[in-house]
Chain A
Amino acid sequence: MRQAIPFCVFAALAIAVQMITALTGTDYFLTQITMSGWYALVVMGLCMLMGYAGQISIGHAAFFAIGGYTAAVLTTMNLLPCKNGAFVKLLSGMGMTIAGTNSWGTDILYLSPWLSLIAAVLISVFTAWIIGIPVLRLKGHYLAMATLGFGTIIYRIALGTPLFGGADGLSDVPPFRLFAGLVIDGSRTHRLAGYYCAMAMILVVIVMLSNLVNSRAGRALRAIHGNEEAAQAMGIDTARYKLNLFVLSAVIAAIAGVFMTHYNGGIGPAEAGVMKSIRYVAIVAVGGMANLWGTLVAGMVLNFLSLRGYFGSFDDAVFGAVLILMMVFAPNGILVKRRKRQ
């Protein structure tokens, strides 16, 4: 039962924040809190990879963008011209298409966001798997540079391909109707639904990851962080554990990307940029590397401040400075738990 306390506190806090904003008439804060929530999902996945398994990735924004762009491309594609094609008919028959009008008033028929979510997960699993096998064999600078290179490739592809809208990105992404009343989009009427969806998603992910940390797999990952050769000598299949974790964190990032894209109604190439990836690394560093709750708190706070524009024109500089200061003065994080000696 004691393990459940932090999760209950989190849920209570999420409700309390919503109450407070509603009572003080500042419920516009919820929009940025929700967006911070989606970003926090990415950093929690990255925290597992960096903090627990000790594998740096400076390319996680790429997975976020893969999710976001998959959702954006699939749900803005107009299927109306090929309405009578066998495949589209089959999808419509299964209830997997949605008819509507876009913001220019044109009638469109688009794929269900559920289908695009599944596609995003599959594509991110595939990409992470293909990239992960060779990349995770590398160590240190090589791993950092290889993931940075992968991130840059995805950024360049997003920027240079007409399908992905080039520098403008894609907009006019339809809302994601999860269940009857639960809609994820940027409108004011659905702000509350979006907020609680984000918080629920965070809760699910952190419960899942906490369980992972305290399982056999979690212990194996910490052994890999400590000393990979020793872990291997103990009979841990280090390559498999690292790869599975890499894929898991990529999928979490892609799902966050899908929801963020529906919430914002669009996505641009900046989401795939190197700076975004470095931000995620900075947040994990502030959270204390191997500390899921610390990372969650740091992710919510820093993203919220950044999205509200409190850093002004020093937005990126703040994250850079934070990185340096954390690594120089407190490489184990400021929110670090004093771990009992085993």
Chain B
Amino acid sequence: MSLALIIQYLFSGITSGGIYAIVAIGFNIIYNSTGIINFAQGEFVMLGGMIAISFCHYMPLPAAIVCAVAITALVGALIEFVFIRWLKKPNVLQMVIITIGLSIVIREAALNIWDEKVRSLPYFTGNEISSIKLLGAYISPQVLWVLFTCAAIVICLNLFFSYTLTGRSMRACSANRTAAALCGVNVRNMVTLSFMISAAIGALAGCVVSPIAQTHYDCGTPLAIKGFTVAILGGLGNSTGAVAAGLILGIIEAFSISLLPSAFKDVVTITILLLVLFFRPSGLFGSREAGALKEF
């Protein structure tokens, strides 16, 4: 394998890895505030892409993306409001089944609103054939957009959680719900907010990746499985770990294509997921507590 080819694979791995990391961070935000794994996380990515594609016929691309992110965030809030907020003592099995049901309903709604065609947003800069030459490899400018967006999301979230009052309240809720409530934090609103944030970043990821990876009503589930793999690999609830794990998984997946037929790309990821679950459920970077299930 030549150096140029290795770099080519590396970039394709980092691109998909970045998206997986964003989906994983979406999982983490909701997990931290509620102890729920939201199986509908992949559907937020799909919704973001689909809505932006519909809107960009009527308005400039940036506006369409902003609208898509806002609408998906509202959908996230709505889901929390209607299905999660008033459940008294939901057990894990119940929550898993509810979010799986939600993912199906969102997907089928998307199928009926749009159709089963594969769509994509236009390239943000340049077009399908424009490329940048880097160390002998040719990469699309969209790849840089994806990387830039992922980095921006991670940095902004870190700033938000460390320096703003709302962000700190959310962290307080995840550390100890009762104590946070006693300090005057409105725990329920923080949960709603966590659904909104994770829906919004999912939607943003869905928009930037749409030109290269295409959007399809059914593209959420594979992303959810991979995002979950990354979340586990990085240690559940640990967003920095998720970024590292996302890049690792993306790169492994990209190189696996050079050995195995690409139909088996998902099999590689899921095998990694199973192995991690079996041997190191706390993840590569997680502590032992992260491996234990959080219950509220």
Contacts and interface: CB of A to CB of B under 8 A. Distances in A.
B100 A156 contact: no
B293 A140 contact: yes
B98 A328 contact: yes
B92 A140 contact: yes
- Which secondary structure dominates chain B's binding surface? helix
Nearest to B36: A141
Interface string B5-23: 0000000000000000000
A228 to B, nearest CB: 12
A117 interface: no
Contacts of B232: 142, 145
B117 to A, nearest CB: 15
Contacts of A145: 37, 225, 228, 232, 273, 277
Most buried by B among A146, A313, A314: A146
Given A141-B293, A142-B277, A316-B108, A324 B266 contact: no
Nearest to A317: B108
A314 B92 contact: no
B75 interface: no
B157 interface: no
Q: Which are the 4 A-B pairs with shortest beta-carbon distances?
A: A320-B104, A323-B101, A160-B263, A317-B108
Contacts of B273: 145-146, 149
A137 B277 CA distance: 10
A150 B274 contact: yes
B228 to A, nearest CB: 5
Contacts of B100: 58, 144, 278, 281, 320, 323
A259 interface: no
What class of interface size applies to chain A in its complex with B?
35 or more
B83 A328 contact: yes
Interface string A124-167: 00000000001101111110111011101100110110000000
Interface string B104-129: 11011101100000000000000000
A8 interface: no
A47 B251 CA distance: 40
20 contacts: A54-B93, A56-B97, A134-B277, A139-B92, A141-B37, A142-B232, A142-B293, A144-B96, A148-B225, A149-B225, A149-B273, A152-B266, A152-B270, A153-B266, A153-B267, A317-B109, A317-B112, A321-B101, A324-B101, A324-B105
B281 interface: yes
- Which secondary structure dominates chain A's binding surface? helix
Interface in A273-300: 274-275, 278, 281-282, 285
B277 A281 contact: no
Given A141-B293, A327-B101, A328-B83, A152 B225 contact: yes
B92 A327 contact: no
A56 B93 contact: yes
B97 A134 contact: no
Contacts of B111: 313
B37 A314 contact: no
A231 B263 CA distance: 43
A321 B267 CA distance: 29
